[in-house]
DNA sequence: TAGATACGAAACGGTTCCGTATCGATAATG
DNA sequence: CATTATCGATACGGAACCGTTTCGTATCTA
């Protein structure tokens, strides 16, 4: 990828890899602390990264491009289910909702909410992160149907939202202050499995 | 309240009620269009309301106070269930999630997400809107348990999140582009009622 | 060593915003 | 009519920020 074989090193001082990383890290840090995307200033990023503003503008066309690249690094790989049981897999998957490899992701996510529905590019970025995770969970449900653990007539897409929604609103908004976030995944999955209707 | 009995009208030109309303309306309009709270400027509000900035600062101490008052007007009364059946009531309640009397509410809600977990005052305001609606839904569930429509051992608080979460993430984020928002309430409620486990 | 490029720091012009102040005009009371 | 407070409009000082440019310095290749 970064080999010099097909790209004969250009003359002059090469760009500092440390600066690249420091800029991205500083951006994510500030996003995790700050309130919204617009509130982050390039000057603050440069200061936090120990970098001149020119170094940033040498790499990115502007604030938007930098933010887009920074957010892309949060992607990460979706978790892989163990496959022992549908319940166990779902509890693990739903427990990971809104918690990527990077612990800052949970704090950054709310900052993006206002933009997701207004900016097509942000929405595409958001979906590119969420869809693979939905796909993993979808496959667990399909496996459960095949194996007879789940009823064959369930609405898979609705079930995805049913399992993900509660964790998302609780982690993003602390929607119900009386709900304990640590035990919530298991309780949600068990309730979805069992249903609430009298039989 | 606004009678002149115990408050002898002070001298001078009285404040324009039209200006009051125009300012609040302009604030909500801009919030519904704009992206985040910070992005709204007092000057834009004044221009939209056809009002001088001084007229705003004569009424509110600053932008925060104005925004707080404007958001409070979105509160409205929580919907009342018909009481015919648990299913019918839940479908109606969950259909109203994120949709207050004011149609702008659905667009404004995402703007507040970043602040809710960081600002205690915003969180209190948010809860003061959400809690009454949760209470109505909670009462429907308790009634269902009493009447034998629902199992007595269900986790009521989890069920609230289970029913609300999917609608909230779908309306706020369009979380799953393949889910139809109009049919979602009924599908969510039916799935929660039935459960997904094979029996 | 010479040339080229990147570096951090600093400054610049232009824009936006906040909160205050000041207009002449307006609308109420006494 | 005199008084008083508000009206919309406009300007101001101060601050923050963007994106660009210019420093002198550092680091690479040829």
Q: CA-CA distance, B57 to A105, in Å (whole number)?
A: 38
Is A88 touching B (CB cutoff 8 A)? Answer: no
Q: CA-CA distance, B1 to A178, in Å (whole number)?
A: 37
Strand partners, B150: A197
Q: Nearest CA to the C1' of C30 belongs to which residue? A: B11
Q: What pLDDT sits at residue B5?
A: 43
Angle, helix A105-116 to helix A17-33, in steps of 10 degrees: 70
Is B159 touching A (CB cutoff 8 A)? Answer: yes
| B139-185 residue pLDDT tens | 999 999 999 999 999 999 999 999 999 999 999 999 999 999 999 99
Q: CA-CA distance, A75 to B92, in Å (whole number)?
A: 37
Contact B40/B30 with Cβ under 8 angstroms?
yes
Is A139 touching B (CB cutoff 8 A)? Answer: no
Distance (Å) from the C-alpha of residue A129 to the closest C-alpha of chain B? Answer: 11
Helix, strand, coil % in chain A, rounded to nearest 5: 60, 0, 40
Residues of chain B with pLDDT below 70 are 1-8, 198
Q: Count the neighbouring beta carbons within 10 Å of the beta carbon of residue B155.
A: 17
Contact A136/A94 with Cβ under 8 angstroms?
no
The beta-strand segments (E) located in chain B are none
Contact B123/B117 with Cβ under 8 angstroms?
yes
Which nucleotide is closest to the Cα of A64 by its C1'? D18
The single-letter DSSP state of residue A141 is H
The dihedrals phi and psi of A80, each to the nearest 5 degrees, come to -100, 130
Q: CA-CA distance, A189 to A97, in Å (whole number)?
A: 13
Q: In order of start, what are the domains of chain A with their CATH numbers?
A: 17-72 (1.10.10.60), 86-194 (1.10.357.10)
Q: What pLDDT sits at residue A2?
A: 39
Question: What would the DSSP string read from start to end of B49-106?
Answer: HT--HHHHHTT-SSHHHHHHHHHHTT--PPPPP--S-HHHHHHHHHHTTT--SSTTHH
Distance (Å) from the C-alpha of residue A159 to the closest C-alpha of chain B? Answer: 8
Closest partner residue to B197 among A162, A169, A193, by Cβ?
Answer: A193
Closest partner residue to A161 among B110, B150, B179, by Cβ?
Answer: B179
The single-letter DSSP state of residue A103 is T
Which whole-number Å values give the CA distances from A116 to A71, A110, B168, in the listed order? 13, 10, 14
Q: What pLDDT sits at residue A189?
A: 97
CA–C1' distance B53–C9 (Å)?
Answer: 39
Chain B neighbors of A174, CB-CB under 8 A: 116-117, 123
The answer to whether the CB atoms of B116 and A157 lie below 8 A apart is no
Contact A39/B38 with Cβ under 8 angstroms?
yes
**Residue among A151, A165, A167, A179 with most chain B CBs within 10 A, to mutate:** A165
Q: Nearest CA to the C1' of D5 belongs to which residue? A: B12
Q: What pLDDT sits at residue B7?
A: 56
Contact B122/B115 with Cβ under 8 angstroms?
yes
Contact A141/A159 with Cβ under 8 angstroms?
yes
| A130-187 residue pLDDT tens | 999 999 999 999 999 999 999 999 999 999 999 999 999 999 999 999 999 999 999 9
Chain B neighbors of A130, CB-CB under 8 A: 175
Chain A segment 29-48 residues within 8 A of B by beta carbon are 35-39
Contact B110/B180 with Cβ under 8 angstroms?
no
Q: What pLDDT sits at residue A95?
A: 95
| A178-183: Cβ within 8 A, 24+ apart | A178/B157, A179/B157, A179/B158, A179/B161
Residues of chain A with pLDDT below 50 are 1-5
Angle at A33 between CA A30 and CA A38, to 5 degrees: 60
Strand partners, B197: A150
Q: CA-CA distance, A168 to B25, in Å (whole number)?
A: 31
Q: Nearest CA to the C1' of C2 belongs to which residue? A: A12
The single-letter DSSP state of residue A11 is S
CA–C1' distance B18–D8 (Å)?
Answer: 13
Chain B neighbors of A137, CB-CB under 8 A: none
Which whole-number Å values give the CA distances from B177 to A153, B169, B173, in the listed order? 22, 11, 9
Residue carrying the six token digits 């509000």: B45
Is B120 touching A (CB cutoff 8 A)? Answer: no
Is B162 touching A (CB cutoff 8 A)? Answer: yes
> Exposed, middle or buried: residue B88 (CB in 10 Å: 0-12, 13-18, 19+)?
middle
> Exposed, middle or buried: residue A71 (CB in 10 Å: 0-12, 13-18, 19+)?
buried
Q: What pLDDT sits at residue A1?
A: 37
Is B149 touching A (CB cutoff 8 A)? Answer: yes
Q: What pLDDT sits at residue A29?
A: 97
Token pair recorded at residue A133: 């995770």
Question: What would the DSSP string read from start to end of A2-20?
Answer: --SSSS---SSPPPPHHHH
Is B113 touching A (CB cutoff 8 A)? Answer: yes
């Amino acid at each position: 990828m970064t080999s010099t074989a097909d790209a004969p090193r250009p003359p002059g001082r090469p760009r500092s890899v440390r600066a690249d990383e420091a800029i991205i890290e500083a951006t994510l840090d500030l996003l995790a602390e700050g309130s919204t995307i617009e509130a982050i200033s390039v000057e603050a990023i440069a200061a936090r990264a120990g970098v001149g503003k020119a170094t940033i503008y040498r790499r990115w066309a502007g604030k938007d491009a930098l933010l887009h690249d920074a957010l892309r690094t949060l992607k990460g790989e979706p978790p892989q289910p163990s496959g022992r049981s549908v319940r166990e897999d779902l509890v693990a998957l739903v427990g990971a909702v809104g918690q990527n490899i990077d612990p800052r992701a949970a704090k950054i996510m709310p900052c993006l909410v206002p933009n997701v529905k207004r900016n097509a590019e942000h929405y595409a970025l958001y979906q590119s992160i969420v869809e693979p995770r939905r796909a993993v969970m979808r496959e667990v449900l399909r496996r459960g149907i095949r194996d007879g653990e789940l009823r064959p007539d369930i609405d898979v897409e609705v079930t995805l939202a049913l399992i993900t929604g509660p964790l998302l609103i609780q982690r993003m908004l602390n929607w119900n202050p009386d709900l304990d976030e640590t035990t919530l995944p298991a309780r949600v999955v068990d309730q979805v499995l069992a249903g609430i209707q009298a039989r």
